[in-house]
Amino acid sequence: MSRTAAPSRSHAPTRERLDRARRTEEVLDRLDALDPGDEQGREELRRELVEANMGVAQSIAARYRNRGIAGEDLEQVAYLALVRVAQTYDHGSGHDFMSYAVPSIRGEVRRYFRDHGWMVRPPRRVQELQGRISTTESELTIKLGHPPTAEELAAELGAPEEHVQEALAANGCFTPTSLDQTVHTAGSSIGDCCGLEEGGLDAVEARVVLTPLVRSLTPRERRILQMRFFGDCTQQEIADEIGVTQMQVSRLLSGLLGRLRADLLARQSASA
């Protein structure tokens, strides 16, 4: 018993393109035959022209996905470009609609990337060269049988090799690597490896704030503070040094710290 072969899926895209081309040509012919004063009819036919070719805009936008800009935004840019193409295309020019539409839509998407897609914005020269590299790189890979080197790209583009290397180094500017990305099996992130907290900064800030207050103390009072907080002396050791009792040192330290705290609060209130 014979079995009817299922339609080949490989022919589906071809049929879609043929259907789109046929529908596009029909709409353009109707536009040509339309009365010049029928603006409403012209807008309706242009809408049909856009609807017939939305798949083209989607396909162009899809080529630029996963580069740091949401796919929905790219499609909107491509759709708007398609609308402008439908409004400006001249059927009587002799040029095929697709040969006019595709470069226009692609150019709008690339301009959108140039103006909005850089999280870290390199010089315009680097941006433009990187766009040329992205197009040429895939073609050279097929031609050479391996990913092209910077030297091979420079020769193909007619650009200095150091400029090509600079543009290649800027590849991460669309979507820089997250500092939260794990880099070791232990689970540490890139951010963990970028630097350590500088513990001395708090001490620097304290010195800046307290220096003018400490200068107002007597030499004996400064000596007590120095021995206690820098010499790490006990209250009894301070008492032996300055000739007083340990209880007196305790009262002196409490009084000094209270005065410094009050002076610090007064300065902060005055500067607020």
Q: What is the pLDDT of residue 4?
A: 45
Alpha-carbon distance of 133 to 65, in angstroms, equals 17
Residue 82 has what pLDDT? 93
* CB 160, CB 168: distance < 8 Å: no
Amino acid, single-letter form, for residue 260: L
Two tokens, residue 225: 């503070």
- Tell me the C-alpha distance between 59 and 66, whole Å: 14
Tokens of 131: 């766009």
Which of 75, 82, 98 is CA-nearest to residue 18? Answer: 98
Mean per-residue pLDDT over the chain, rounded: 79
Torsion angles phi and psi, residue 197, rounded to 5: -70, 130
Tens-digit pLDDT profile for residues 90-145: 887 777 888 888 888 888 887 787 666 655 566 777 777 877 887 787 678 778 87
Q: When comparing pLDDT for 161 and 114, which is higher?
A: 161
Q: How confident is the model at residue 260 (pLDDT cuts 50, 70, 90)?
A: confident
Q: Please report which residue ranges of 8-149 form alpha helices under DSSP H.
A: 12-33, 39-52, 54-62, 71-88, 97-116, 124-144
pTM: 0.45
Task: Tell me the per-residue pLDDT of 189-247, one tens digit each, with 9 for 90 and over.
Answer: 666 666 555 556 666 666 777 788 888 889 999 899 889 888 888 999 999 999 999 99
Amino acid at 64: Y
Instruction: Please report the domains of the chain, with CATH numbers, ordered by start residue.
Output: 13-117 (1.20.120.1810), 118-174 (1.10.10.10), 202-271 (1.10.10.10)
User: Which residue in 67, 65, 66, 176 sits closest to 119, CA to CA?
Assistant: 176
Lowest mean pLDDT, pick from 20-24, 54-58, 171-175, 227-231: 171-175
